């Protein structure tokens, strides 16, 4: 199966974090080890240069080496992996970043919301789509996103270069805006929907959406997840996406199991993403889990003021203890030495 076919069919794609040393330099060995973990865990691909990788790498010289390391890890594997490069900035920067990613072997570009008008963002998406297939990104406002209308998503999904949308507003109403826009675009069968709603992962994956349009009813589903939550406990995340696909095909036993897991995964995410403090510690929380498992040397972020919030470490300990079936600790312990080579 080609990367495009795999993406269209649906899979689990972790948002790749940034491995840093204590002096906040790129830790290439551990950056590579994390990518190897994702490959071994069965992830369908990796998204690099996105929010979890920390947006400042687009401006501090780290973007290219981080993209290169992940691409090299993907080439080590014996199967196809969907390689997604985060792209941002105005048209000139976004196109340049897409060209760089294409030159490194990336298959598609995840386009961060811009600051311009809707027309300017549509023009930017069209330009990037001439370089790499485009995945739209509805990013929640709490971490730098903006509200985007139903009309915008209809126009966006109608672009020939668009092959998917990562829907991550953490808001059911705004999620429906994306779905209605895609349904009305005339290209619903060509746009793969990926949940980025870390607070409703399983709910998105198992729900069919029947939407009325001027041309009749369109049924949409989220085919996979592209998430910061999938950056940890990835083997379990892969299993959840596969279970959701079985449930969507009619397996009611699996569906009942997923309904139990739904609340547990959301509870775990609340701790990881620091919901109690408006997501302040979300990246540090991801890094903390990976550091506890030995994949990262520490939870450091590029901004020294960005760290976990009071009580967050205890909450992460609680959910890891209460939901051991969602964690990958034993799997990582068995393979860490090989990944660190």
CATH of the domain at 189: 3.20.20.70
In the block, tokens 């980025």 appear at 196
pLDDT band at 276 (very low <50, low <70, confident <90, very high): very high
How far is 57 from 288, CA to CA, in rounded Å?
A: 20
Phi first, then psi, for residue 286 (nearest 5°) are -60, -50
Structure tokens at 184: 């009305």
Kind of pairing, strands 216-220 and 209-213? antiparallel
Mean pLDDT of the chain: 96
Q: At what angle do helices 28-41 and 329-339 cross, to 10 degrees?
A: 130
φ, ψ (nearest 5 deg) of residue 130: -80, -10
Q: In degrees, to the nearest 5, what angle opens at C-alpha 14 toward C-alphas 282 and 309?
A: 10
Residue pLDDT, tens place only, 319-340: 999 999 999 999 999 999 999 9
Residue 160: pLDDT band by 50, 70, 90 thresholds? very high
Q: How far apart are CA 165 and CA 154, in angstroms?
A: 12
Is the Cβ–Cβ distance between 340 and 33 less than 8 Å?
yes
pLDDT score of 143: 82
- What percent of the chain has a predicted confidence (pLDDT) above 90? 95
Domains held by the chain: number: 1
Asked if pLDDT for residue 238 goes beyond 90, the answer is: yes
> How many percent of the chain have pLDDT more than 70?
100
CA-closest candidate to residue 92, choices 54, 128, 45, 42: 128
pLDDT in tens, 55-97: 999 999 999 999 999 999 999 998 999 999 999 999 999 999 9
Q: Mind listing the pLDDT tens digit for each residue in 114-142?
A: 888 999 999 999 999 999 999 999 988 87
Asked if residue 180 has pLDDT above 90, the reply is yes
The confidence score (pLDDT) of residue 106 equals 98
User: Can you give the C-alpha Rg of the chain in angstroms?
Assistant: 19
Residue 6 to residues 2, 10, 146, 194, 326, Cα–Cα distance (Å): 6, 6, 29, 13, 24
DSSP state of 295: S
Q: Which domain holds residue 220?
A: 3-339
* pLDDT score of 289 more than 90: yes
pLDDT score for 15: 98
| Residue 145: per-residue pLDDT | 83
The pLDDT value recorded for residue 197 is 97
Is residue 144 predicted with pLDDT exceeding 90? no
Q: Where are the beta strands (DSSP E) in 140-199?
A: 162-168, 192-195
pLDDT-based confidence at 290, cuts 50/70/90?
A: very high
3-state helix, strand, coil in the chain (%, to 5): 50, 15, 30
pLDDT of residue 287 exceeding 90: yes
Per-residue confidence (pLDDT) for residue 294, from 0 to 100: 98
How large is the average pLDDT for residues 307-311?
A: 98
pLDDT of residue 142: 79
Q: Scan for tokens 């993907």, then name that residue.
A: 74
CA angle 304, 310, 316 (to 5 degrees): 100
Query: What are the structure tokens assigned to 72, written together?
Result: 């090299």
Residue 256 has pLDDT above 90, yes or no: yes
Which pLDDT score is estimated for 140? Answer: 86
SS3 at position 324: helix
Mean pLDDT of 205-228: 96
The pTM score is 0.97
Q: Which helix (H) or strand (E) holds 110?
A: strand 108-111
Among 239, 104, 309, smallest CA distance to 96 is for 104
Q: What are the pLDDT digits (tens) for 190-208? A: 999 999 999 999 999 999 9
**Crossing angle of the two packed helices 234-248 and 252-272, in degrees rounded to 10:** 140
């Amino acid at each position: 199966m080609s990367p495009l076919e795999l993406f269209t069919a649906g899979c689990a794609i972790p948002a790749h974090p940034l491995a840093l040393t204590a002096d906040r330099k790129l830790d290439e060995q551990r950056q590579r080890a994390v990518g190897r973990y994702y490959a071994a865990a069965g992830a369908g691909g990796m998204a690099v240069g996105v929010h979890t990788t920390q947006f400042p790498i687009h401006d501090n010289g780290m973007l290219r080496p981080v993209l290169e390391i992940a691409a090299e890890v993907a080439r080590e594997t014996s199967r196809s992996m969907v390689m997604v490069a985060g792209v941002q900035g105005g048209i000139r920067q976004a196109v340049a970043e897409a060209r760089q990613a294409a030159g490194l072997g990336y298959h598609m570009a995840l386009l961060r919301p811009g600051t311009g008008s809707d027309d300017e963002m549509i023009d930017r998406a069209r330009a990037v789509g001439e370089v790499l297939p485009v995945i739209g990104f509805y990013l929640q406002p709490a971490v730098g996103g903006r509200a985007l209308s139903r009309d915008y998503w209809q126009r966006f999904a109608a672009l020939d270069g668009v092959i998917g949308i990562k829907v991550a507003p953490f808001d059911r109403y705004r999620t429906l805006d994306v779905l209605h826009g895609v349904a009305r675009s005339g290209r619903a069968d060509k746009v793969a929907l990926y949940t980025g709603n870390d607070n409703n992962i399983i709910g998105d994956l198992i729900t069919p959406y029947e939407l009325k349009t001027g041309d009749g009813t369109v049924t949409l589903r989220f085919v996979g997840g592209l998430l910061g939550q999938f950056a940890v406990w990835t083997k379990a995340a892969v299993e959840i996406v596969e279970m959701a696909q079985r449930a969507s095909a009619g397996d009611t036993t699996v569906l009942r199991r997923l309904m139990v897991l739904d609340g547990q995964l959301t509870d775990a995410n609340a701790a990881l993403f620091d919901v109690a403090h408006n997501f302040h510690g979300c990246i540090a929380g991801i890094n903390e889990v990976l550091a506890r498992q030995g994949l990262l040397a520490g939870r450091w972020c590029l901004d020294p003021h960005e760290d976990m919030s009071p009580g967050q470490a205890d909450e992460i300990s609680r959910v890891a203890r209460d939901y051991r079936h969602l964690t990958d600790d034993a799997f990582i312990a068995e393979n860490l030495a090989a990944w660190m080579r």
